[in-house]
Structure 1
Amino acid sequence: MTNFSAIGAYWDGRAGSFDDEPDHGLREEATRAAWADRLAAWIPHTGADVLDVGCGTGTLTCLLAAAGHRVTGVDLAPRMVGQARAKAAAAGLRARLLVGDASAPPTGDDTFDAVLSRHLVWTLPEPEAALREWVSRLRPGGVLVLVEGRWGGAEPDAEPYGAGTGVLPWGAGVGAEALAAAVRPLVAGVRVEDLGGDERLWGGPVSDERYVLTARV
Protein backbone atom coordinates (compact mmCIF):
# COMPACT_ATOMS: atom_id res chain seq x y z
CA MET A 1 0.00 0.00 0.00
CA THR A 2 1.40 3.40 -0.98
CA ASN A 3 2.50 5.52 1.97
CA PHE A 4 1.42 8.96 0.77
CA SER A 5 2.27 10.55 4.12
CA ALA A 6 5.90 9.46 3.79
CA ILE A 7 6.09 10.64 0.19
CA GLY A 8 4.54 14.01 1.00
CA ALA A 9 6.85 14.47 3.98
CA TYR A 10 9.89 13.64 1.86
CA TRP A 11 9.09 16.33 -0.71
CA ASP A 12 8.00 18.81 1.95
CA GLY A 13 11.48 18.39 3.40
CA ARG A 14 13.01 19.36 0.07
CA ALA A 15 10.76 22.36 -0.55
CA GLY A 16 13.07 24.90 1.07
CA SER A 17 16.00 24.17 -1.26
CA PHE A 18 14.11 22.92 -4.31
CA ASP A 19 14.46 26.15 -6.29
CA ASP A 20 18.23 26.24 -5.76
CA GLU A 21 18.57 23.90 -8.74
CA PRO A 22 18.91 26.06 -11.88
CA ASP A 23 16.19 24.16 -13.77
CA HIS A 24 13.81 24.25 -10.79
CA GLY A 25 13.94 27.87 -9.69
CA LEU A 26 14.68 29.28 -13.18
CA ARG A 27 16.31 32.27 -11.51
CA GLU A 28 18.65 32.93 -14.44
CA GLU A 29 16.94 34.69 -17.32
CA ALA A 30 18.55 32.48 -19.97
CA THR A 31 17.31 29.30 -18.26
CA ARG A 32 13.85 30.75 -17.74
CA ALA A 33 13.65 31.84 -21.40
CA ALA A 34 14.79 28.41 -22.58
CA TRP A 35 11.97 26.68 -20.69
CA ALA A 36 9.43 29.26 -21.91
CA ASP A 37 10.49 28.61 -25.49
CA ARG A 38 10.20 24.84 -25.06
CA LEU A 39 6.76 25.09 -23.46
CA ALA A 40 5.58 27.26 -26.34
CA ALA A 41 6.70 24.57 -28.78
CA TRP A 42 5.12 21.70 -26.85
CA ILE A 43 1.82 23.52 -26.15
CA PRO A 44 1.62 25.80 -29.19
CA HIS A 45 -1.92 27.18 -29.11
CA THR A 46 -2.75 29.93 -26.66
CA GLY A 47 -5.41 29.76 -23.99
CA ALA A 48 -5.11 26.00 -23.43
CA ASP A 49 -6.33 24.20 -20.32
CA VAL A 50 -3.14 22.66 -18.93
CA LEU A 51 -2.72 20.22 -16.05
CA ASP A 52 0.75 20.44 -14.49
CA VAL A 53 1.17 17.24 -12.49
CA GLY A 54 3.85 17.24 -9.82
CA CYS A 55 4.05 21.02 -10.15
CA GLY A 56 6.48 21.41 -7.26
CA THR A 57 7.11 25.07 -6.47
CA GLY A 58 5.12 26.11 -9.53
CA THR A 59 7.83 27.55 -11.76
CA LEU A 60 6.52 25.94 -14.95
CA THR A 61 2.95 26.56 -13.82
CA CYS A 62 3.76 30.26 -13.69
CA LEU A 63 5.46 30.21 -17.10
CA LEU A 64 2.38 28.59 -18.60
CA ALA A 65 0.04 31.07 -16.91
CA ALA A 66 2.19 33.99 -18.11
CA ALA A 67 1.85 32.61 -21.65
CA GLY A 68 -1.94 32.87 -21.38
CA HIS A 69 -2.86 29.29 -20.52
CA ARG A 70 -5.39 28.27 -17.88
CA VAL A 71 -3.28 26.13 -15.58
CA THR A 72 -4.04 23.66 -12.81
CA GLY A 73 -1.04 22.51 -10.79
CA VAL A 74 -1.13 19.49 -8.48
CA ASP A 75 1.48 18.33 -5.98
CA LEU A 76 1.42 16.01 -2.99
CA ALA A 77 3.67 18.24 -0.85
CA PRO A 78 1.77 21.09 0.88
CA ARG A 79 4.91 23.20 1.28
CA MET A 80 5.64 22.93 -2.42
CA VAL A 81 2.10 24.03 -3.26
CA GLY A 82 2.33 26.87 -0.75
CA GLN A 83 5.42 28.17 -2.49
CA ALA A 84 3.74 27.81 -5.88
CA ARG A 85 0.76 29.84 -4.70
CA ALA A 86 3.03 32.55 -3.33
CA LYS A 87 5.02 32.62 -6.56
CA ALA A 88 1.89 33.00 -8.69
CA ALA A 89 0.45 35.70 -6.42
CA ALA A 90 3.70 37.68 -6.46
CA ALA A 91 3.70 37.64 -10.26
CA GLY A 92 0.01 38.56 -10.49
CA LEU A 93 -0.82 35.29 -12.25
CA ARG A 94 -3.95 33.17 -11.97
CA ALA A 95 -3.49 29.45 -11.50
CA ARG A 96 -5.39 26.75 -9.66
CA LEU A 97 -2.95 25.02 -7.33
CA LEU A 98 -4.07 21.89 -5.48
CA VAL A 99 -2.56 19.61 -2.87
CA GLY A 100 -3.12 16.01 -3.95
CA ASP A 101 -1.76 12.87 -5.57
CA ALA A 102 -0.32 13.87 -8.95
CA SER A 103 -0.83 10.33 -10.25
CA ALA A 104 -4.60 10.70 -9.67
CA PRO A 105 -5.16 14.47 -9.75
CA PRO A 106 -8.09 15.76 -7.62
CA THR A 107 -9.72 17.63 -10.52
CA GLY A 108 -13.01 15.75 -10.73
CA ASP A 109 -14.35 15.31 -14.25
CA ASP A 110 -12.27 18.14 -15.71
CA THR A 111 -10.44 17.43 -18.95
CA PHE A 112 -7.49 19.27 -20.43
CA ASP A 113 -5.81 20.22 -23.68
CA ALA A 114 -2.42 19.28 -22.27
CA VAL A 115 -0.96 17.35 -19.35
CA LEU A 116 2.60 18.30 -18.40
CA SER A 117 4.90 16.28 -16.14
CA ARG A 118 8.52 17.19 -15.51
CA HIS A 119 10.82 14.77 -13.67
CA LEU A 120 7.89 13.13 -11.91
CA VAL A 121 7.32 9.61 -13.21
CA TRP A 122 10.53 8.30 -11.62
CA THR A 123 9.17 9.34 -8.18
CA LEU A 124 5.92 7.37 -8.47
CA PRO A 125 5.20 3.97 -6.90
CA GLU A 126 2.95 3.05 -9.86
CA PRO A 127 4.09 5.12 -12.85
CA GLU A 128 2.27 3.13 -15.53
CA ALA A 129 -1.07 3.59 -13.73
CA ALA A 130 -0.35 7.31 -13.57
CA LEU A 131 0.30 7.44 -17.31
CA ARG A 132 -3.06 5.82 -18.00
CA GLU A 133 -4.76 8.28 -15.66
CA TRP A 134 -3.15 11.32 -17.28
CA VAL A 135 -4.09 10.21 -20.78
CA SER A 136 -7.68 9.74 -19.60
CA ARG A 137 -7.74 13.43 -18.57
CA LEU A 138 -6.90 14.63 -22.09
CA ARG A 139 -9.45 15.86 -24.59
CA PRO A 140 -9.39 14.50 -28.14
CA GLY A 141 -6.33 15.99 -29.84
CA GLY A 142 -4.76 16.78 -26.47
CA VAL A 143 -1.05 16.44 -25.83
CA LEU A 144 0.86 14.59 -23.11
CA VAL A 145 4.24 16.20 -22.36
CA LEU A 146 6.70 14.17 -20.27
CA VAL A 147 10.11 15.67 -19.48
CA GLU A 148 12.16 12.81 -18.09
CA GLY A 149 15.56 11.13 -18.02
CA ARG A 150 17.90 8.66 -16.38
CA TRP A 151 19.99 10.06 -13.56
CA GLY A 152 23.71 9.50 -13.20
CA GLY A 153 24.63 8.15 -9.78
CA ALA A 154 21.06 7.23 -8.79
CA GLU A 155 20.57 4.04 -6.81
CA PRO A 156 17.83 1.92 -8.42
CA ASP A 157 17.42 -0.31 -5.35
CA ALA A 158 17.13 2.49 -2.79
CA GLU A 159 14.00 3.30 -0.79
CA PRO A 160 13.96 7.09 -1.18
CA TYR A 161 10.95 7.71 1.05
CA GLY A 162 12.35 5.80 4.02
CA ALA A 163 12.83 2.24 5.19
CA GLY A 164 9.78 0.10 4.52
CA THR A 165 8.31 2.40 1.88
CA GLY A 166 9.43 0.26 -1.04
CA VAL A 167 11.67 0.56 -4.07
CA LEU A 168 10.39 2.69 -6.93
CA PRO A 169 10.00 0.95 -10.32
CA TRP A 170 11.84 3.77 -12.09
CA GLY A 171 13.80 5.08 -9.12
CA ALA A 172 16.95 5.75 -11.16
CA GLY A 173 14.93 7.53 -13.83
CA VAL A 174 13.48 6.06 -17.00
CA GLY A 175 15.07 5.94 -20.43
CA ALA A 176 13.27 7.22 -23.49
CA GLU A 177 12.79 3.78 -25.02
CA ALA A 178 11.20 2.34 -21.88
CA LEU A 179 8.90 5.32 -21.38
CA ALA A 180 7.86 5.33 -25.04
CA ALA A 181 7.01 1.63 -24.79
CA ALA A 182 4.77 2.34 -21.80
CA VAL A 183 3.03 5.31 -23.42
CA ARG A 184 2.64 4.07 -26.99
CA PRO A 185 -0.38 1.73 -26.38
CA LEU A 186 -2.29 4.64 -24.79
CA VAL A 187 -1.94 7.27 -27.53
CA ALA A 188 -2.04 7.92 -31.25
CA GLY A 189 1.60 8.85 -31.70
CA VAL A 190 4.80 9.35 -29.72
CA ARG A 191 7.71 11.72 -30.36
CA VAL A 192 10.95 11.85 -28.37
CA GLU A 193 13.35 14.79 -28.45
CA ASP A 194 16.75 14.88 -26.76
CA LEU A 195 17.17 17.74 -24.28
CA GLY A 196 20.55 16.85 -22.82
CA GLY A 197 22.48 18.97 -25.29
CA ASP A 198 20.66 22.21 -24.48
CA GLU A 199 22.71 23.58 -21.58
CA ARG A 200 20.38 26.56 -21.19
CA LEU A 201 17.67 24.28 -19.81
CA TRP A 202 19.84 22.94 -16.99
CA GLY A 203 22.04 25.91 -16.18
CA GLY A 204 25.10 24.08 -17.52
CA PRO A 205 26.22 20.82 -19.14
CA VAL A 206 24.68 17.50 -18.10
CA SER A 207 25.97 14.00 -18.78
CA ASP A 208 22.89 11.89 -18.08
CA GLU A 209 19.97 11.15 -20.40
CA ARG A 210 17.37 13.93 -20.58
CA TYR A 211 14.54 14.18 -23.08
CA VAL A 212 10.94 15.13 -23.68
CA LEU A 213 8.31 12.69 -24.86
CA THR A 214 5.22 14.21 -26.45
CA ALA A 215 2.16 12.20 -27.43
CA ARG A 216 -1.29 13.02 -28.80
CA VAL A 217 -4.60 11.30 -28.15
Structure 2
Amino acid sequence: MNGPLDSIAAYWNDAAPGFDREPDHGLRAAGTRGAWRRRLAGWLPGAGLDVLDAGCGTGSLSVLLAEAGHRVTGVDLAPAMVDLARAKFAAAGLTGSFLVGDASRPPTGDGRYDAVLCRHLLWTLPDPHAALREWAARLRPGGRLLLVEGRWREAGAAVEPYAPGTEGLPWAGGITASALTAALRPLVRELQVEPLEADEELWGGPVRDERYAIVARV
Protein backbone atom coordinates (compact mmCIF):
# COMPACT_ATOMS: atom_id res chain seq x y z
CA MET A 1 0.00 0.00 0.00
CA ASN A 2 0.98 3.59 -0.41
CA GLY A 3 -0.34 7.13 -0.30
CA PRO A 4 -3.76 7.56 1.27
CA LEU A 5 -4.34 3.80 1.52
CA ASP A 6 -1.76 3.58 4.32
CA SER A 7 -3.54 6.16 6.44
CA ILE A 8 -6.95 4.71 5.58
CA ALA A 9 -5.81 1.24 6.67
CA ALA A 10 -4.37 2.67 9.89
CA TYR A 11 -7.60 4.52 10.66
CA TRP A 12 -9.81 1.45 10.27
CA ASN A 13 -7.29 -0.76 12.05
CA ASP A 14 -7.51 1.54 15.07
CA ALA A 15 -11.32 1.59 14.80
CA ALA A 16 -11.65 -2.20 14.72
CA PRO A 17 -11.80 -2.90 18.50
CA GLY A 18 -14.84 -0.66 18.94
CA PHE A 19 -16.43 -1.11 15.53
CA ASP A 20 -19.10 -3.58 16.59
CA ARG A 21 -20.48 -1.27 19.28
CA GLU A 22 -22.57 0.38 16.57
CA PRO A 23 -25.86 -1.55 16.35
CA ASP A 24 -25.72 -2.00 12.58
CA HIS A 25 -22.05 -3.04 12.69
CA GLY A 26 -22.04 -5.70 15.39
CA LEU A 27 -25.65 -6.86 14.85
CA ARG A 28 -25.70 -7.93 18.49
CA ALA A 29 -29.39 -7.19 19.04
CA ALA A 30 -31.69 -9.95 17.83
CA GLY A 31 -34.00 -7.47 16.09
CA THR A 32 -31.20 -5.79 14.16
CA ARG A 33 -29.61 -9.09 13.22
CA GLY A 34 -32.95 -10.46 12.07
CA ALA A 35 -33.67 -7.34 10.03
CA TRP A 36 -30.41 -7.70 8.11
CA ARG A 37 -30.93 -11.44 7.67
CA ARG A 38 -34.33 -10.82 6.09
CA ARG A 39 -33.02 -8.12 3.78
CA LEU A 40 -30.11 -10.23 2.60
CA ALA A 41 -32.43 -13.15 1.91
CA GLY A 42 -34.53 -10.90 -0.31
CA TRP A 43 -31.57 -9.40 -2.14
CA LEU A 44 -29.68 -12.70 -2.55
CA PRO A 45 -32.33 -15.43 -2.50
CA GLY A 46 -31.54 -19.11 -2.37
CA ALA A 47 -28.27 -20.63 -1.22
CA GLY A 48 -24.96 -21.77 -2.60
CA LEU A 49 -23.86 -18.46 -4.16
CA ASP A 50 -20.24 -17.38 -4.32
CA VAL A 51 -20.32 -13.96 -2.64
CA LEU A 52 -17.55 -11.38 -2.38
CA ASP A 53 -17.98 -9.09 0.63
CA ALA A 54 -15.92 -6.04 -0.38
CA GLY A 55 -14.97 -4.03 2.68
CA CYS A 56 -16.23 -6.76 5.00
CA GLY A 57 -15.20 -5.04 8.21
CA THR A 58 -15.64 -7.36 11.18
CA GLY A 59 -17.64 -9.81 9.06
CA SER A 60 -21.14 -9.39 10.52
CA LEU A 61 -22.89 -9.54 7.15
CA SER A 62 -20.51 -12.27 5.99
CA VAL A 63 -21.68 -14.40 8.90
CA LEU A 64 -25.32 -13.96 7.89
CA LEU A 65 -24.51 -14.87 4.31
CA ALA A 66 -22.61 -17.99 5.35
CA GLU A 67 -25.44 -19.01 7.69
CA ALA A 68 -27.77 -18.74 4.68
CA GLY A 69 -25.62 -21.27 2.83
CA HIS A 70 -23.51 -18.99 0.65
CA ARG A 71 -19.77 -19.31 0.10
CA VAL A 72 -18.21 -16.07 1.31
CA THR A 73 -14.95 -14.34 0.53
CA GLY A 74 -14.34 -11.18 2.56
CA VAL A 75 -11.78 -8.49 1.79
CA ASP A 76 -10.81 -5.55 3.99
CA LEU A 77 -7.91 -3.13 4.04
CA ALA A 78 -7.51 -3.30 7.84
CA PRO A 79 -5.84 -6.47 9.21
CA ALA A 80 -7.54 -6.01 12.59
CA MET A 81 -10.96 -6.04 10.91
CA VAL A 82 -10.08 -9.24 9.06
CA ASP A 83 -8.85 -10.86 12.27
CA LEU A 84 -12.19 -10.14 13.93
CA ALA A 85 -14.11 -11.48 10.92
CA ARG A 86 -12.12 -14.71 10.99
CA ALA A 87 -12.73 -15.04 14.73
CA LYS A 88 -16.50 -14.64 14.23
CA PHE A 89 -16.52 -17.41 11.64
CA ALA A 90 -14.46 -19.69 13.86
CA ALA A 91 -16.74 -19.07 16.84
CA ALA A 92 -19.81 -19.82 14.73
CA GLY A 93 -18.29 -22.93 13.16
CA LEU A 94 -18.57 -21.39 9.70
CA THR A 95 -16.27 -21.68 6.70
CA GLY A 96 -15.18 -18.62 4.75
CA SER A 97 -12.16 -16.94 3.24
CA PHE A 98 -10.92 -13.54 4.45
CA LEU A 99 -8.15 -11.55 2.81
CA VAL A 100 -6.34 -8.35 3.74
CA GLY A 101 -6.30 -6.01 0.77
CA ASP A 102 -7.80 -3.09 -1.08
CA ALA A 103 -11.53 -3.81 -1.37
CA SER A 104 -11.73 -1.58 -4.46
CA ARG A 105 -9.30 -3.99 -6.14
CA PRO A 106 -9.89 -7.27 -4.35
CA PRO A 107 -6.82 -9.56 -4.29
CA THR A 108 -8.78 -12.58 -5.45
CA GLY A 109 -7.01 -13.28 -8.73
CA ASP A 110 -9.25 -14.49 -11.53
CA GLY A 111 -12.07 -15.47 -9.20
CA ARG A 112 -15.59 -14.63 -10.33
CA TYR A 113 -18.66 -14.36 -8.13
CA ASP A 114 -22.41 -14.68 -8.25
CA ALA A 115 -22.72 -11.58 -6.09
CA VAL A 116 -20.57 -8.74 -4.81
CA LEU A 117 -21.75 -7.04 -1.63
CA CYS A 118 -20.49 -3.67 -0.46
CA ARG A 119 -21.93 -1.79 2.52
CA HIS A 120 -21.01 1.79 3.46
CA LEU A 121 -17.60 1.72 1.79
CA LEU A 122 -17.81 3.99 -1.25
CA TRP A 123 -17.50 7.21 0.78
CA THR A 124 -14.05 6.08 2.02
CA LEU A 125 -12.54 5.38 -1.41
CA PRO A 126 -10.15 7.61 -3.38
CA ASP A 127 -11.66 6.37 -6.68
CA PRO A 128 -15.17 4.97 -6.19
CA HIS A 129 -15.92 4.90 -9.93
CA ALA A 130 -12.95 2.57 -10.50
CA ALA A 131 -14.19 0.38 -7.65
CA LEU A 132 -17.63 0.05 -9.24
CA ARG A 133 -16.04 -0.99 -12.54
CA GLU A 134 -13.84 -3.52 -10.76
CA TRP A 135 -16.71 -5.08 -8.81
CA ALA A 136 -18.91 -5.34 -11.89
CA ALA A 137 -16.03 -7.06 -13.71
CA ARG A 138 -15.76 -9.65 -10.92
CA LEU A 139 -19.32 -10.87 -11.48
CA ARG A 140 -20.38 -13.85 -13.54
CA PRO A 141 -23.01 -13.25 -16.23
CA GLY A 142 -26.28 -12.46 -14.51
CA GLY A 143 -24.48 -11.80 -11.23
CA ARG A 144 -25.69 -9.23 -8.72
CA LEU A 145 -23.95 -6.17 -7.37
CA LEU A 146 -25.50 -5.29 -4.01
CA LEU A 147 -24.63 -1.84 -2.66
CA VAL A 148 -25.94 -0.64 0.70
CA GLU A 149 -25.15 3.06 0.83
CA GLY A 150 -26.37 6.45 1.95
CA ARG A 151 -25.77 10.16 2.21
CA TRP A 152 -24.63 10.88 5.76
CA ARG A 153 -24.77 14.67 5.74
CA GLU A 154 -26.82 17.39 4.16
CA ALA A 155 -25.90 17.99 0.54
CA GLY A 156 -23.34 20.76 0.26
CA ALA A 157 -22.19 20.58 3.88
CA ALA A 158 -18.44 20.55 4.46
CA VAL A 159 -17.05 17.12 5.37
CA GLU A 160 -13.88 16.86 7.39
CA PRO A 161 -11.29 14.28 6.21
CA TYR A 162 -11.50 11.22 8.42
CA ALA A 163 -7.81 10.28 8.02
CA PRO A 164 -4.65 11.97 6.71
CA GLY A 165 -4.60 11.95 2.92
CA THR A 166 -8.36 11.65 2.56
CA GLU A 167 -8.95 15.30 1.80
CA GLY A 168 -11.18 15.74 -1.22
CA LEU A 169 -12.54 12.20 -1.41
CA PRO A 170 -15.09 12.24 -4.27
CA TRP A 171 -17.97 10.84 -2.22
CA ALA A 172 -17.01 11.98 1.27
CA GLY A 173 -20.11 12.09 3.46
CA GLY A 174 -21.82 9.45 1.34
CA ILE A 175 -23.55 9.40 -2.02
CA THR A 176 -27.21 9.88 -2.89
CA ALA A 177 -29.18 7.10 -4.54
CA SER A 178 -29.72 9.19 -7.65
CA ALA A 179 -26.01 9.93 -8.08
CA LEU A 180 -24.97 6.32 -7.49
CA THR A 181 -27.64 5.11 -9.91
CA ALA A 182 -26.24 7.40 -12.59
CA ALA A 183 -22.72 6.07 -11.99
CA LEU A 184 -23.90 2.46 -12.20
CA ARG A 185 -26.12 2.55 -15.28
CA PRO A 186 -23.27 2.24 -17.84
CA LEU A 187 -21.97 -0.84 -16.01
CA VAL A 188 -25.15 -2.92 -15.52
CA ARG A 189 -28.19 -4.03 -17.49
CA GLU A 190 -30.76 -3.45 -14.76
CA LEU A 191 -30.97 -2.09 -11.25
CA GLN A 192 -33.44 -1.48 -8.45
CA VAL A 193 -33.26 1.03 -5.61
CA GLU A 194 -34.74 0.15 -2.23
CA PRO A 195 -35.04 2.93 0.41
CA LEU A 196 -33.96 1.78 3.87
CA GLU A 197 -34.05 4.80 6.16
CA ALA A 198 -37.53 3.98 7.48
CA ASP A 199 -36.50 0.50 8.69
CA GLU A 200 -35.30 1.42 12.18
CA GLU A 201 -34.42 -2.15 13.09
CA LEU A 202 -31.64 -2.16 10.49
CA TRP A 203 -29.89 0.73 12.20
CA GLY A 204 -30.77 0.10 15.81
CA GLY A 205 -32.96 3.21 15.94
CA PRO A 206 -34.22 6.10 13.83
CA VAL A 207 -31.96 7.76 11.25
CA ARG A 208 -32.39 11.12 9.58
CA ASP A 209 -30.15 10.73 6.58
CA GLU A 210 -30.63 8.85 3.31
CA ARG A 211 -30.13 5.08 3.44
CA TYR A 212 -30.80 2.70 0.59
CA ALA A 213 -29.78 -0.47 -1.23
CA ILE A 214 -29.16 -0.87 -4.93
CA VAL A 215 -29.34 -4.34 -6.47
CA ALA A 216 -27.91 -4.37 -9.98
CA ARG A 217 -27.40 -7.18 -12.49
CA VAL A 218 -24.66 -7.38 -15.07
User: Which TM class, normalised by the smaller chain length?
Assistant: over 0.9
In structure 2, distance between residues paired with 1:65 and 1:102: 19
Q: Does 2:157 correspond to 1:158?
A: no
The 5 Å alignment of 1:64-83 reads: 64-83=65-84
* TM-score (norm: length of structure 1): 0.96
In structure 2, distance between residues paired with 1:165 and 1:139: 32
Shift of 1:167: 1.8
In structure 2, distance between residues paired with 1:123 and 1:27: 25
In structure 1, distance between residues paired with 2:175 and 2:166: 20
* TM-score (norm: length of structure 2): 0.96
Shift of 1:153: 6.7
Q: Which letter maps to 1:107?
A: T
Deviations 1:76-95 (A, max 9, x none): 00000000000110000001
Shift of 1:60: 0.3
Aligned to 1:202: 203
In structure 2, distance between residues paired with 1:104 and 1:69: 22
Shift of 1:26: 0.3
In structure 2, distance between residues paired with 1:174 and 1:104: 20
Shift of 1:156: 4.3
In structure 2, distance between residues paired with 1:128 and 1:113: 21
Aligned to 1:216: 217
CA contact (8 A) 2:153 2:174 kept: no
Question: What SS does the corresponding residue of 1:33 show, helix, strand or coil?
Answer: helix
In structure 2, distance between residues paired with 1:167 and 1:14: 21
Question: What SS does the corresponding residue of 2:179 show, helix, strand or coil?
Answer: helix
Aligned to 1:138: 139
In structure 2, distance between residues paired with 1:125 and 1:36: 30
The 5 Å alignment of 1:1-40 reads: 2-40=3-41
In structure 1, list runs of 5 or more residues that go unmatched.
none
In structure 2, distance between residues paired with 1:115 and 1:103: 11
In structure 2, distance between residues paired with 1:96 and 1:191: 29
Aligned to 1:106: 107
In structure 1, distance between residues paired with 2:133 and 2:74: 18
CA contact (8 A) 2:123 2:172 kept: yes
CA contact (8 A) 2:114 2:140 kept: yes
In structure 2, distance between residues paired with 1:38 and 1:98: 25
In structure 1, distance between residues paired with 2:175 and 2:204: 22
Alpha-carbon spacing, 1:156–1:44, altered in 2? closer, same or farther (3 Å): farther
Shift of 1:67: 0.6
Identical residues among aligned pairs (%): 63
Question: What SS does the corresponding residue of 1:144 show, helix, strand or coil?
Answer: strand
Deviations 1:39-86 (A, max 9, x none): 011111210000000000000011101110000000000000000000
Aligned to 1:167: 168
CA contact (8 A) 1:160 1:167 kept: no
Question: What SS does the corresponding residue of 1:145 show, helix, strand or coil?
Answer: strand
Deviations 1:144-192 (A, max 9, x none): 0000001137964422212x44321111100000000000100001110
In structure 2, distance between residues paired with 1:2 and 1:125: 10
In structure 2, list runs of 5 or more residues that go unmatched.
none
Q: Does 2:183 correspond to 1:182?
A: yes
**Number of residue-to-residue matches in the alignment:** 216
